[in-house]
Amino acid sequence: MKKLFKISMALLLLFSVTALFAAGNQDASEMKSNTMSEASDADSKFGGVLVFGRSGDSVGLDPGRETDGESFYGSTPVYDTLVEFVPGETAVRPALAESWIFAEDGLSVTFKLRQGVKFHDGTDFNADAVVYSFERQFKEDHPDYDNGPWKYWGYMGMSDIIDEIVADDEYAVTFKLKVKEAPFIANLAMDFAAIVSPTAAAKYGEDLASNPVGTGPFKFVSWIKDDSIVYERNEDFWGGDVYLDRLILKVIPDATARWLALKKGEVDVIDFPSPEDLDEMKSTDGIKVVQQAGLNVGYLALNTEKAPYDNKKVRQAMNYAIDRNEIVAGVYGSAGQPAKNPLPPTMWSYNDDIDAYPYDPEMAKKLLAEAGYPDGFKTEIWAMPVARPYNPNGKKVAEIMQAQLAKVGIEVEVISYEWGTYLDKLDYGEHQAAMLGWTGDNGDPDNFLWVLLSKQAAVKPAGNIAFWKNDEFTDLIGEAKQEMDVAKRTELYEQAQVVFHEEAPWVPIAHSVVSEPMKDSVQDFVLYPTGRRVFTKVWLKK
């Protein structure tokens, strides 16, 4: 089967980048099928320690409070949600809720909860735990509300959707909604909707972020900041067997050092390989590379609350002055595709009729002159300090932009901060222009457009770090949220992308193919288009 896997990967490389992106979920399913069939002896699956090498540490481990992928990597092993994504897909299936039913008017949904589930601290999972996990995020008179900020709740506009959450009995919960919300069930599969132990929350308070207690496949053991997080198997996991004795998330910031650690056998799986190393990885004995088109976008946000980016012509000039093709060739290699929209091309409702801003320095100069900046201006570009699936090297991208913008008279200072500090400063708009990106959490366009670009998401701490407040755009995506007809939703989202293109609050940079190199011995690892790293059913071939 190993040979079959390598043949499938070789064929994958023959496809054009576009075809590769379009085939994302199907490829993941095929890979899953191949690896699943390798398991011939169930008893041999148990045991071993898997070390996962990643680029940065978690900011915190309370999924309700965090916003970044590295933090969710740290909380995902510990927590469960009411519903979850099918491995490798964006379809939703039952998890802590066995079933759910909407009222006829679409304004309430009742969940039947799984019975007999225990939190890692030995307490019972029940309706009260569900109510607690959500109410702490939006009821301002809740005793634990001040343990926030609950940023993701705000990004998703959940307070505009949920009116009340009621425990009907010990194992039934009803969410009463203010409005119909097409992606509501998918929203509940996201990390911020994880169910936490109320007992642990009362014990640790704000420090729950360092002492996570959920119902998930692994129990938290220890955390050494900027080094490693250790988990052990939850023997009583409700979702069946968990095979690894221990899981360790190991921080190795440099991509070359992560690859060296994998070659030396010090780690079993690594995140975010350098694109230049991929060919060597694929040809190295004992190493395989799982790939999937990322449901992601990397971008440069232009802070519209600050001059000169409050001027549309300056924002358009930035789009003409930055050569995305050069950035993709220099940083992403064959694992990237230039972006023109805020949605990835694998997302339904992607508007492919929009023409990307071409690289045109002369047009950029013309627009700058019309905007009152004939000699250009000085600006800062903030660069991410960690590799992310949507941008493997923020500093290098910034340096390329710096050289390109100098050609039209824009003098750029590149600035960076420690990851947690970087995110906090962006949330509150301290930047002029900053790189960031997004991997879709729930397979719905709303999760990109509302979270990153709506007027509501521009409220600090903001998900909309361009602080762009456009009524026409927000009205279109707001109407789409409440429209259940997918064809009509698609039309609205396509119109919204036209507005985005004209107003240019970002310079969209790239979408990437996500690659995960690992030892051949790692079995049943599945990439999720939502960017999750899940080790629940992973096992090590002896």
Whole-number pLDDT of residue 294: 85
DSSP characters over 227-251: TEEEEEE-TT-TTS----SEEEEEE
Closest CA to 159 of 171, 148, 172, 170: 148
pLDDT digits (tens, 9 = 90+) for 104-128: 999 999 999 999 999 999 999 999 9
Per-residue pLDDT tens digits for 468-504: 999 999 999 999 998 989 999 999 999 999 999 999 9
Find out whether the peptide bond into 63 is cis, omega within 30 degrees of 0. no
Please, which contacts does 11-18 make with residues 24 or more away whose CB atoms are closer than 8 Å?
Answer: 12/291, 13/334, 17/334, 17/336, 17/337, 17/513, 18/337, 18/345
Residue with tokens 């400063």: 425
Q: What is the pTM of this model?
A: 0.79
**CA–CA gap between residue 480 and residue 7 (Å, rounded):** 42
Q: Which CATH superfamily is domain 293-513 in?
A: Dipeptide-binding Protein; Domain 3 (3.10.105.10)
- Which pLDDT score, from 0 to 100, does residue 257 have? 97
Residue-level pLDDT at 33: 38
**Which candidate, 54, 70, 76, 343, places its Cα nearest to that of 192?**
76
Q: How confident is the model at residue 154 (pLDDT cuts 50, 70, 90)?
A: confident
DSSP β-bridge partners for residue 378: 411
The domain made up of 51-268+521-540 has a fold known as D-Maltodextrin-Binding Protein; domain 2 (3.40.190)
Closest CA to 539 of 267, 188, 246, 193: 246
User: Rg of the chain's alpha carbons, rounded to an integer?
Assistant: 23
Residues 6+ apart with CB under 8 A from 48: 243, 244, 245, 539, 540, 542
- Alpha carbon distances (Å) from 524 to 40, 73, 527: 12, 18, 10
- DSSP state, 144? T
Give the pLDDT confidence score for residue 441 in this predicted structure.
Answer: 83
Residue 443's pLDDT is 86
353-371 burial: b if 16+ Cβ within 10 Å, else e: eeeebebbbebbbbbbeeb
Sequence letter at residue 153? W
User: How far is the C-alpha of 318 from the C-alpha of 381, rounded, in Å?
Assistant: 12
Instruction: State residue 186 phi and psi, 5-degree precision.
Output: -60, -35
| Contacts of residue 442, Cβ cutoff 8 Å, sequence gap at least 6 | 85, 90, 183, 186, 187, 189, 190, 530
Tell me how far apart the alpha carbons of residues 36 and 123 are, in angstroms, rounded to a whole number. 34
Alpha-carbon separation of residue 35 from 283, 338, 467 (angstroms) = 19, 32, 44
The domain spans of the chain are 51-268+521-540, 293-513
103 versus 90: the higher-pLDDT residue is: 103
- Strongest mean pLDDT among 3-17, 41-55, 288-302, 494-508: 494-508
User: Both ends of the chain: CA-CA distance in Å?
Assistant: 16
Write out the DSSP string of 89-104: SS-EEESSEEEEEE-T
Percent of the chain topping pLDDT 70: 92
Least confident of 82-91, 249-258, 352-361: 82-91
Helix/strand/coil (H/E/C) assignment for every residue in 5-27: HHHHHHHHHHCCHHHHHHCHHHH
